[in-house]
Amino acid sequence: MLTRRTLVATALAAPIAAPAIGQARQTEITVYHYQNDRRGEAFKDIIRRFEAANPDIKVTDVFKTDATITAELQAALAARRPVDLGTVIGIRVQFYRMRTPAVAFDEDPAQAKWLENYLPNFLDVGRHGGKIYAVPYAFGTPMLYHNRDLVRAAGLNVDAPPRTWDEVIEWAKRIQAQSGIPGVAQIHGSNKFYGTMLMANNAGGRYVSESGDRVVLDSPEALAGLQLWQDLAVTHKVMPIANDQQWTAAFLGGRLAMYITSSALLRQAVDSAKGRFELGVAQYPLFPGRTQRRVPNSGGTFMLFSPPGPRREASLRFMAFLSELTIANEWSRESGYMPLMREPLRDPAMQSYVESFPYVRPVIAQMPDTIATETWNHPNALQAENTVATLIDDLWAGKGPASQLVPEAVRRANAALSRAN
């Protein structure tokens, strides 16, 4: 009779099976991401093709929602669960660099030649001390979506969309007067962070200091940007007060004339507009008196957490695969995110895509105007963001001009950050 002791001894004495001749040992890497539905399938297909070309590497993808991935990734790293590559939202890059075992992609320059494929300004979000700690893979840029039927009915030239905010306001007034439909709205983003930064940046200012630990919306440039945002709602009365979900639904349903939101909405907008209205897409409007757009990217990056050795080498090979022009362009086409590589139209497949889907032309044209999203380097940044979000609500409620409300809100936000320190 076999006893438990006999079974254990037999198991310990049994030889370990070696890989069959010609069968390489696989290195497994774990990738955290927030892509689902169509984008998720496109990402998984790219993984399958990478594995087919690299049979010695197995990629395990872990899906988390975009709302939870920051906390889930932090928890996995803290618990020392396997994480080789993880999606980090742009505003959190420097926080992760400082407070996690993040590794620069070009720690070994010989293994990072593929970084040269990217448009250089797209790498700025992860640049620190001459190294690249984050690489874009799900970037959006703000576009001016507009209902060409409403534009035409208001007697405006549908083939000459607004180039400046002054022109946007003029269009919004004309359309609203003719149709009674609200004229324009601009994306908030989480805790109004993205919309506020967008207004400040395009006016020549900043939301967060370059050190990532203070709010700097009280500069003359940022004040001018926030005053314009208030004017849309209070002075010109062309922007209804709502949240991003309500604005998106209103625009897609033909109940909002113009909507500034991410290029990531492009495919959904095209599909929703069919049979309802003629869609127009244009670049983000220039701030009055400025000749250059400054539009921060939205969306996520990949950061590297692999320990030295085979997993890190495999992770870098996977990233090199993602940065190949044809693969990166395919991901852009399937996902709706911005192209990321230098001169994306060098790829014949991308040229054909643009010819068949011209809505994407303004997105490509805006690539050089993209600047890095500002990043926090403070564990209690949410306290400051809450203060600024309340400030924006107060501006839209007309409780005072930006010159009065902003400096006091900045003082409170920075005091909260100082107390947290």
pLDDT digits (tens, 9 = 90+) for 178-195: 999 999 999 999 899 999
What is each CA distance from 255 to 48, 158, 275, 373, 412, in whole angstroms?
42, 18, 15, 30, 37
pLDDT for the residue numbered 421: 65
CB contact at 8 A, 239 and 184: yes
The tokens for 420 are: 């947290």
Is residue 177 over pLDDT 60?
yes
Share of the chain above pLDDT 70, in %: 94
Is residue 7 over pLDDT 80?
no
Q: Which pLDDT band, with edges at 50, 70 and 90, does 236 fall under? A: very high
pLDDT tens figures, 19-73: 444 456 899 999 999 999 999 999 999 999 999 999 999 999 999 998 899 999 9
CA–CA separation, 197 and 180 (whole Å):
30
Q: Which pLDDT band, with edges at 50, 70 and 90, does 233 fall under? A: very high
Domain range 142-296+380-420, its CATH number among 3.40.50.620, 3.40.640.10, 3.30.465.10, 3.40.190.10: 3.40.190.10
| Domain covering 26-139+297-371 in this structure, CATH number | 3.40.190.10
pLDDT tens figures, 348-364: 999 999 999 999 999 99
Q: Where do the CATH 3.40.190.10 domains begin and end in the chain?
A: 26-139+297-371, 142-296+380-420
45: left (phi over 0), alpha (psi -120 to 50) or beta: alpha
pTM, two decimals, is 0.89
pLDDT for the residue numbered 31: 98
CA–CA separation, 19 and 291 (whole Å):
63
Mean pLDDT over all residues of the chain?
A: 93
270-299: average pLDDT: 95
Place of tokens 């039927």: 149
Is residue 3 over pLDDT 50?
no
Question: Which one has a higher pLDDT value, 10 or 240?
Answer: 240
Place of tokens 């990056």: 301
